[in-house]
Chains A and B, each alone.
Chain A
């Protein structure tokens, strides 16, 4: 089942904050976040593992609520370079990161 992302799109001014949510109807063992800039390939941001371990990007943080089967990506003091489409991905199995099902994406636009 495809995870559900919200909002579908968000427009910010430079320096503002944003939160992107990802929820699943099934139990989650990890959540993967990717960003895709216009005309480019998706790039890995971070992975959140069951048990609270977090890895990834310095200026963007995320949370993972296993009980609620949700993850949120926090972008604080946004920069122009944050613009792009953000995808969350959830694995089919407990640990496999290669068998990801991605959400539909959240388009983030940061204006000057």
Chain B
């Protein structure tokens, strides 16, 4: 089954404790992205990757890091989480060629206290 998986699905942590949210896709997609979703703000792109070792900032990259060492995986790293990073996070992947449909993972709800 074609899918994007994220782990963990729920995470409660404390300020400053480094964490990683994993994302994996089994569709051999070139593009992968991370979004955060906050009430009233819609989906905002954090980072995206066009392929292995190629990443770029989205609209809200501050406080986040990413890496793309393998085509299927695109982890999101919060080195020193703060309460304003409490949010619902989605990973998505898509093909390099059209129609550019993005497949979203199930989401990770992060709470930073």
* A contact residues vs B (CB 8 Å cutoff): 2, 30, 32, 34, 40-44, 47, 55, 87, 89, 91, 95-105
Does B33 have its Cβ within 8 Å of any Cβ on chain A?
Answer: yes
Contacts of B90 in A (CB 8 A): 41-42
Contact status B100-A96, CB under 8 Å: yes
Interface Cβ pair total, 8 Å cutoff? 64
B61, CB-defined interface residue at 8 Å: no
The 3 closest A-B pairs by CB, nearest first: A97-B100, A98-B31, A41-B104
Chain B residues in 8 Å Cβ range of A55: 99
Q: Which residues of B approach A to under 8 Å, CB–CB?
A: 31-33, 35, 40-45, 48, 50, 58-59, 90, 92, 94, 98-107
Q: Which of A30, A42, A43, A95 contacts B43 (CB under 8 A)?
A: A42
23 A-B pairs in the complex with CB atoms less than 8 angstroms apart: A2-B42, A32-B100, A34-B102, A41-B104, A41-B107, A42-B90, A43-B104, A44-B101, A47-B98, A47-B99, A96-B100, A97-B94, A97-B98, A97-B100, A97-B101, A98-B50, A98-B92, A98-B94, A98-B102, A99-B58, A102-B43, A104-B41, A104-B42
| Residue of B with least CB distance to A8 | B40
Bound-state Cα–Cα, A95 to B98, Å: 8
Of A41, A42, A101, which is within 8 A of B45 by CB?
A101
Are A101 and B59 in contact, with the CB atoms below 8 A?
yes
Q: How far is the CB of A91 from chain B (nearest CB, A)?
A: 8
Is the CB–CB distance between B42 and A102 below 8 Å?
Answer: yes
Measured CB to CB, the closest approach of chain B to A47, in angstroms, equals 5
Q: How far is the CA of A43 from the CA of B2 in the complex (A)?
A: 14
B48 lies within 8 A of A97 (CB): no
Contact present for B40 and A47 (CB under 8 Å): no
Please give 10 more A-B residue pairs, beta carbons under 8 A apart, in addition to A98-B48, A98-B100, A99-B48: A30-B100, A34-B102, A47-B100, A97-B100, A98-B50, A98-B102, A101-B59, A102-B43, A103-B42, A104-B40
Task: Please measure, in the bound complex, the distance between the C-alpha atom of A102 and the C-alpha atom of B59, giving whole angstroms.
Answer: 11
Give Cα A84 to B112, complex, Å.
Answer: 27
If the complex has contacts A87-B42, A87-B43, A105-B42, are A98 and B107 also in contact, measured as CB distance less than 8 A? no
